[in-house]
Amino acid sequence: MTMAATATAIAPQEQFASDVRSGLAKPRKELPSKYFYDALGSALFEAICLLPEYGLTRADERVLSRNTREIVGRIPHPVLVSELGSGSGRKTRQILGALCKRGPVSYYPIEISPKALASCAAELDDIDCLSIVGIEREYLDGLQTVAAARPPGAHLLVLFLGSTIGNFDTGADAKFLREVRGKLRPGDSLLLGTDLVKRVDVMLEAYNDSLGVTAAFNLNLLSRINRELEGDFDLHQFEHLARFNDATSSVEMHLLSKRRQMVHVRQSGLVTTFEEGETIWTETCHKYTCPEIARLAAAAGFRVEAQWVDETWPFAESLFVAE
């Protein structure tokens, strides 16, 4: 794998320190969910994907593998593929493998974690005719780099799988997709994975598993702050909380302070007090409906070319085409 871009204006560590400072200074404390994925957090997420309660990733993989031929049949050739978040490479493998049967394909995974990029490249290394160019950037910056590098006449397919789109705040998903659209040309495609609304108890158990893996995944954010930013969070004094917000149709994850306590984060220059029962909001996982996906596409300048839904665990794969 070649690395096309590693330059960032502000060092990732400083960005982390500053995001922690601003998130914990808010009246309703919050932390960005993108910081879950250090080496331990990524391993815990892989474990989450194996939990019986968490059907999301299996559904995503199932829809993709059952419909690979039809999906790929709708993508013009030659094509340049870019993925927002490199994931484990497992899901992408089938799509890329099928595209490669028609000729050489360039694949540009965009990911802020260099480790994730490396393991994705290792996973996909054996596919013939595939050249992998890792882009260590935020999604939109990375997509800009890919768009600038595309040869004339090549079609661009953007993959945004696993319902990561659901992690945006309400309204920010549409804004993000508009920005993605802004980097594309008419006729380019976006394959978008979205988890769909299902029974509330099923949705809640997916984020509150009986082994406590999701709790560990959530709490690891505090231990990452301790490790990397010289924080002194006492992990025993916080607990994992998952709840369904009806108004936004989202599962929210929080970390709840079990008592009144003070916390320091040295590299963020932060001292803050938690009341008993106060929470840090760490993640939003929005659950979609199909009409909502259609509205989202239209609002962002796409049409829904095709859609595939898993019936066992309602999850949709939608092929958007830029208008």
Q: Enumerate binding residues for ligand AVJ (CB under 6 A).
A: 48, 56, 162-164, 166-167, 207, 214, 217, 283, 285
- Token duo for residue 2: 């070649």
Query: Which residues are 135's β-sheet partners?
Result: 5, 110
CB of residue 269 to ligand AVJ, shortest distance in Å? 29
In the bound state with ligand AVJ, the residue whose beta carbon lies nearer, of 79 and 313, is 313
CB of residue 276 to ligand AVJ, shortest distance in Å? 25
Continuous segment of H or E residues that includes residue 319: strand 315-322
Burial (CB < 10 A; 0-12, 13-18, 19+), residue 254, is buried
CB of residue 317 to ligand AVJ, shortest distance in Å? 14
In the bound state with ligand AVJ, the residue whose beta carbon lies nearer, of 35 and 207, is 207
CB of residue 89 to ligand AVJ, shortest distance in Å? 15
With CA atoms as reference, report the closest residue to 320 among 193, 215, 205: 193
**β-pair type (130-135, 2-5):** parallel
In the bound state with ligand AVJ, the residue whose beta carbon lies nearer, of 42 and 67, is 42
- Token duo for residue 161: 């799988």
Angle made by CA atoms 63, 68, 71, in degrees to the nearest 5: 95
**β-pair type (238-245, 250-257):** antiparallel
Residue appearing with tokens 């331990």: 40
CB of residue 206 to ligand AVJ, shortest distance in Å? 7
In the bound state with ligand AVJ, the residue whose beta carbon lies nearer, of 79 and 116, is 116
In the bound state with ligand AVJ, the residue whose beta carbon lies nearer, of 136 and 209, is 209
Give the Cα separation of 305 and 178 in Å (integer): 17
**β-pair type (105-110, 130-135):** parallel
CB of residue 86 to ligand AVJ, shortest distance in Å? 12
In the bound state with ligand AVJ, the residue whose beta carbon lies nearer, of 268 and 284, is 284
The residue with its CB nearest to ligand AVJ is 285
